[in-house]
Amino acid sequence: MWNFDATSSVLLVVDMQRDFVEEGRPMEVPMARKRIPQMRQLVDGARAADVPVIFTQHVLYDAFDVSPLETSNNPRLLTEGMRAGSDGIEIVDGLDSRPTDHYVQKHRYDAFYNTNLELLLNTVRGYRQVDTLVIAGTLTEVCCESTARSAFMRDFKVAFAGESTGALSETAQAATLDAISKYFGRVMDNAEILQGLTDGAR
């Protein structure tokens, strides 16, 4: 089993947007809202250790259907949710996102697909200095898991934050954590990740 090394890591916070998190929003995920304090711990820990923080934003358009298979599964998304230019794509206030953080807009569950994420990972700490993604955010069983699998296929180590990801159900959360831990990475709790970040900052 590989060791977690903060000096070659980034924190990837997936889709913690107002339309996914806030009460009454189109894609509300109560577990993600409940776990904002744990995610904030990781964001603060990463900053303290000079580990880059990357936020993804799932974005849809009014002018045309940029994700037709996604909207065929959830027709509500044809007219509302995560609209470009709306407050719904903004990162929730509780995570203290800053202009100095990095942002990746995506149109598929997998944050690598047709985005600049891999380019960012290969340069943000110097040329190919990043080999580990700490993944937090929502939905655990959709965008977080899709991105974790895609990272693994690209030979990135995956540190999946079990306490700082939010699913639509406890069953879905458990299923993803089981699959990740068996095949695609390490499921780590906040204490383990924060200890790794602290060790890396020394």
For the segment 129-187, what is each residue's pLDDT rounded down to a tens digit?
Answer: 999 999 999 999 999 999 999 999 999 999 999 999 999 999 999 999 999 999 999 99
Q: What is the pLDDT of residue 200?
A: 66
Kindly list the distances between the CA atom of residue 75 and the CA atoms of 26, 80, 88, 144, 186, in Å, as whole numbers in the listed order. Answer: 12, 9, 17, 22, 35
Q: What is the pLDDT of residue 8?
A: 97
Residue range 25-44: average pLDDT?
A: 98
For residue range 162-171, what is the model confidence (pLDDT) as tens digits?
A: 999 999 999 9
Cβ-based neighbours of 118, under 8 Å, separated by 6 or more: 112, 154
Q: How far apart are CA 177 and CA 141, in angstroms?
A: 9
For the chain, what are the domain ranges?
6-201
**Cβ burial 116-134 (10 Å sphere, 16+ → b, else e):** ebbebbeeebeeeebbbbb
Cβ-based neighbours of 156, under 8 Å, separated by 6 or more: 121, 130, 131, 132, 133
Tokens linked to 71: 């909207």
Residue 152's CB: how many other CB atoms inside 10 A? 16
Mean pLDDT check: name the lowest of 116-130, 147-161, 186-200: 186-200
For residue range 69-92, what is the model confidence (pLDDT) as tens digits?
A: 999 999 999 999 999 999 999 999
Q: How far apart are CA 91 and CA 98, in angstroms?
A: 10
Q: How far apart are CA 200 and CA 27, in angstroms?
A: 36
Mean pLDDT across the chain, nearest whole number? 96
Helices 36-48, 190-201: axis angle to 10 degrees equals 10
Pick the CATH number of 6-201 from 3.40.50.850, 3.40.50.1970, 3.10.560.10, 3.40.640.10: 3.40.50.850
Q: How far apart are CA 186 and CA 4, in angstroms?
A: 9
